[in-house]
Each structure stands twice: as structure tokens, then as C-alpha cells.
Structure 1
């Protein structure tokens, strides 16, 4: 399969099936050099048929933009509710957990049993307000600079407070998950706080709808192999699931 048209047709079909393609894999499958594949990807990108990323290409724009929590809460709301319910089943009596910011983790907080004995540390004001109605939940609200778009706090003060704790589980929302680049958010300071949350948690559970896969935000949180569990919806591709599992990440699809 050496003609330009045949290669391009093969690349587009593979992308439509897997959502992401790797240069190394394409070289082996099409029996051409990496220089040829990169030229092919550049031509297809110029025609607005794909987006080139490091080491490969994707069908969707990989770069995320900051949106307000009110806007994001309306997106994939049914999926987020289902993800939140499955995540809530992982929380046990007397757990000490961290809940980060974002609409997926807010949906999770709304699914937590009202009478469960819990200690919750959170950076998100809307999560704290949601859990204030739970009589047996002790809420520790982190302080610091408020990020208005996510109604959450961030900065050195928040990070320093976390150093005094160690928790069973962290429930983390993200703006993007890229198999090579890792987990990201659109704000660098929030990414730094999320890294601190990971460092003081026994297990990191990522709650995300499937539209976040293949996306990249400005601030990197961590690599894929630093998380334990991803809960997402059925929109995730089989290829992505296999890649995550090969990195030692448990994947639950709702």
C-alpha cells in the first residue's frame, strides 16, 4: 500500500475507528518511513481532516479552553451523573477522601449517601456547599486564591494545608487525558494543587466523560501511570481502554 491516496484513506479510516493513531504503528502497518507518515499527517491536517499531536494524530481538536463551571455543568450531564453514582459506590464508611474541582466531581458529591460518616477535603466551594447538608460528613475546605471559572481555590496556601493530611482516595476531575502527555487542566496553579492532592492520597480515581480523551490543557497534572482508576462513559474507544489498562490503570465504563 504505497500510493498517497491509499495511505490517506487507510489513516482516516483507522482514525475514525480508534480516535487516535500512532506514527510508529502506521509505519509498521503501511511499510513506509516515519518521514513519509509525518508528511501524510501534515497534508491531512492542512485539509482539516485531523489534528497532529506529538507522536501521532487525533480526529478532535486536542487543545482545551477554560470554561465556566456553569457552562461545563450542562455538557454531558447524564454521563457525569452516571459516573458520579458509580464513583460514590467506592466510598466506604469512615473514609477520608479528597474531592478536587470540576463538574464531574460535583456530580459525584451529589451522589454520596447523606448519612455516611466521612471526612472530605475539597478545593471546590460548590462541593463543600453540597456536602454541608450531610450531617455525618466533616468537610475541610481548603483556602487560597479563588479561581472563578471553577469556583475552587488554588495556590501555595492550599498546597501547604494538604501537607498535614493523608487520605484513602482522591476523586479527580480533568480537562484532558492524552495517552502520551498525561492528565491536564487549563490552569497551571490548579494543576500544581492537583499534583499535591495525588501525593497525599493512597489511590487516585479520575472521573471524566469520554470527550476529555485525546485533549490537552495548558497545565499538566501527572502522567497516566500515576493514577489508579478511571471512571468514564461508553464513548471511550476500545483502543484507549486497552492503552490505559496496559499502563496499569483500571477502567470502569458506565
Structure 2
């Protein structure tokens, strides 16, 4: 810490205070004499996703974590935003977590009070999650109160999309398995479209983002009675009125 203080020309107390704040946000881990990056942030293949719009993702994760109660059974999909959600849930207790995210399983599994089910399947190192037919089959064996996932884009006329077919298949299985589908989408993805459709607006209960969308997208959310949560700079949320229980067309087809 002394080296940092000298290099930055600030006091050691300021260094300690800033490192504590960064540790609380999951950005660093405090070690004797200083700090280091958490294992999850050292994964080379996943690093660029974690760094992209990182501040927005932390805000979204904090707002989403407020939707989780101690003792909840939740599903967490793979992705960088949901990785920040796992970090934001570290102080929750007695969670039952089903996830195909290697990092989310490791973060929440380190808490002895939690019961974590790591979904098997083919490991995609770039995505940091398990995918494929086996992963989808495993996900469908579970049932959860809330499903948290993130996507590549959201557009008023098409819904939620992503560029990775394997990820989409897992997210769709999680949406089916959860009573509530909660999408974490930073505002850089508003008004954009990717190759593969993940979900229609009818399948989504809640969207959490860092700010409200422009009129066309906001109108689509309102028309489908989606609860929209906009996390402000302090981490608070502006919640619209949630709709009633979701009717999932894919679940009806399977029944």
C-alpha cells in the first residue's frame, strides 16, 4: 500500500479506503500489504466482457440483487453481467442457486450458507459457462422462483436477442424453468438486434437496466406490462408496476 501511496502521491489512508471500496464492489481482493484481482477477473477469455461497460453492469447487478430474498431459489445464466450479480449476492444467505456460469457457481458456492447446483455440459471458455444439449437437459430438471439472465440486444419489434446460439438455448431453458424471468440489460444494448432470438416480451417479467430506454422501446415494455427497473447512480431503483403471473408459450407447448 505504501508503494501505491507514493506512486499516486496520496495518503496511505486514502489508498486503504479506496481499496476497501473496490473490494466491496468485487473489483479487487484485499491481501496482506495490498490487493489483487479476484480469480474471476483474471480469466483472459472473459476479461473483455467483464471490462465492457463494467460500471453499468455493477449498477444493474446491485439493483437486481435487491430482488433476491434470503432463502430464494434462483437461476443465473452465463454472462458478464450475471457474474457481477453473483458478486452482488455474496451477502445473501441460504440461497439455492442453479447456474451454468462457472464464475457464479464459484463465487456463490464459496458461501457455506448457499446450496449451489452447477449445471453440467460442454464448457465454453469464451462464454465462461456450460452449454450444449446436456446443459439444456440438466437445466430442465430444475424449477426456480426467479431466473436472471442477460442478452446481447433488445429491440422493440423483435424482443431479446443474442449472437450465440448455445447461450440462447440455455437461457430459453432457464426462462421455462423459472416462475419469473428477469433480464439484466445495460443501455448500450437498447435498440439493437443480434442473430438469434432469445425471448419475446411476453416471456419476460422484469427488465433491469442502468437507465430508461427511448420511447419506442419503453412503449413495448409498457404494452407487455413488463416491470422496468432503472438503477440510479446511488444504486436505487425506479420500479414500474409489475404485471400478473407470466404465461409461457413454450411451457404450454411442452405440457
Q: Please confirm whether the aligned pair reaches a TM-score higher than 0.5, indicating the same fold.
A: yes
Q: Which of structures 1 and 2 has the bigger CA Rg?
A: 1
CA distance in 1, matches of 2:219, 2:210: 15
Give the superposition deviation at 1:222: 1.2
Match of 1:151 in 2: 128
Whether contact under 8 Å (1:115, 1:134) holds in the other structure is no
The root-mean-square deviation of aligned C-alpha atoms, in Å, is 1.7
| Equivalent runs, 1:111-122 vs 2, <5 Å | 111-122=88-99
Is 1:250 matched up with 2:227? yes
Match of 2:50 in 1: 73
Whether contact under 8 Å (2:204, 2:226) holds in the other structure is yes
| Equivalent runs, 1:54-65 vs 2, <5 Å | none
Whether contact under 8 Å (2:77, 2:170) holds in the other structure is no
CA distance in 2, matches of 1:114, 1:227: 27
Alignment counterpart, residue 116 of structure 2, candidates 129, 135, 139: 139
CA distance in 2, matches of 1:93, 1:215: 35
CA distance in 1, matches of 2:217, 2:198: 19
Is 1:129 matched up with 2:122? no
Query: Across the two proteins, how many residue pairs are aligned to each other?
Result: 188
| Equivalent runs, 1:76-115 vs 2, <5 Å | 76-115=53-92
Unpaired runs of 5+ residues, structure 1, are: 1-67
Give the superposition deviation at 1:202: 0.1
Give the superposition deviation at 1:231: 0.5
Give the superposition deviation at 1:218: 2.1
Give the superposition deviation at 1:126: 1.1
CA distance in 2, matches of 1:238, 1:107: 28
CA distance in 2, matches of 1:105, 1:211: 16
Normalising by structure 2, report the TM-score.
0.70
